[in-house]
Amino acid sequence: MKQQPKIIIAIDGYSSTGKSSFAKLIAERLGYIHLDSGALYRAVTLHGLRNGTIANGKIDAEALVATLPGLEVSQRPDTYIGEENVEGLIRQMEVSSYVSPVSAIPAVRVFVDDNLHKMASGGGVVMDGRDIGTTVFPNAELKIFMQADEMVRAMRRYKETTDPGTTFIDVLHNLRDRDLRDSTRDVSPLRKADDAIVLDNTCMTMDQEIQWLVDLLNSKYGFSL
Ligand code: DC
């Protein structure tokens, strides 16, 4: 493959817009690394559930934050806690139901942002999340904001669910709840960066999304894909 420019591509958007799947495919196409920032918030949440600082519907934020210096998270590209691959565990409904309030804790955001900056230090990165273009990499060369119809998003997430007891309505409520919390929290709320380009994929296939991006990279960023 011809050497392509090494830029940072920030992809933000609502839950289940397909950000991570899209980001992963782009990264493969460009020979970039892909970082899924939501997975790190999920790993912190799993860690809290395991050490008891998250239990019975409550999060002891102070106690959880006190355990963060001992937490080693990485993406290679699956998400790891220490040497344990937790990619499957962090997608379970129990983690999903706590991850949004956990991600609103300022010290958790600092912890995740530090890890993201370390992992992205070589450039050539596609990173997806809620605040990548606004907070984590405000100078990213390309910012994309993804959106899609709510029912379409809930159905996509429902099809991926591995918990046998989870219904479509559970998934829809969780998605609505997270969108509301993520966009109304005090620290780094989900919002479109002023210079982000909107990609609405309600009626698009993944191939069409990739082609849209390839055309953009070729025409505006000097790529030859
Ligand atoms: O993308 P996801 O659904 O796996 O993200 C899980 C949660 O993490 C989401 O509800 C909000 C939070 N998150 C965040 O606050 N900031 C990010 N950059 C990424 C995710």
CATH number for the domain spanning 64: value is: 3.40.50.300
Evaluate whether residue 218 is within a structural domain.
Answer: no
| pLDDT at site 2 | 64
**Within a domain: residue 84?**
yes
Indicate the top mutation candidate among 44, 78, 99, 114 to test ligand 1's pocket, ranked by most ligand atoms within 8 A of CB. 99
Query: Is 147 part of a structural domain of the chain?
Result: yes
Question: Is residue 70 assigned to a domain?
Answer: yes
Number of domains in the chain: 1
Whether 221 maps to a domain, the answer reads: no
| Tens digit of each residue's pLDDT (9 = 90 or more) over 179-207 | 999 999 999 999 999 999 999 999 999 99
Exposed, middle or buried, 31 (CB in 10 Å: 0-12/13-18/19+)? exposed
The β-bridge partners of 55 are 58
Give the residues surrounding ligand 1 with Cβ less than 6 Å away: 15, 37-38, 41-42, 99-100, 103, 129-132, 178, 182
Give the global pTM: 0.93
- pLDDT one digit per residue (tens) for the chain, 225 residues: 567 889 999 999 999 999 999 999 999 999 999 999 999 999 999 999 999 999 999 999 999 999 999 999 999 999 999 999 999 999 998 999 999 999 999 999 999 999 999 999 888 999 999 999 999 999 999 999 999 999 999 999 999 888 889 999 999 999 999 999 999 999 999 999 999 999 999 999 999 999 999 999 999 999 999
Q: Which pLDDT score, from 0 to 100, does residue 186 have?
A: 93
Largest CA distance in the chain: 53
Q: Which ranges constitute the DSSP H helices of the chain?
A: 19-30, 37-51, 61-66, 93-103, 106-119, 150-160, 168-184, 206-220
The closest-lying atom of ligand 1 relative to the alpha carbon of residue 181 is: 10
Domain containing 106 equals 8-211
pLDDT tens-place string over residues 72-94? 999 999 999 999 999 999 999 89
Residue at 131 is within a domain: yes
Q: How many CB atoms lie within 10 A of CB 18?
A: 22
Is residue 205 in a domain?
yes
Residue at 224 is within a domain = no
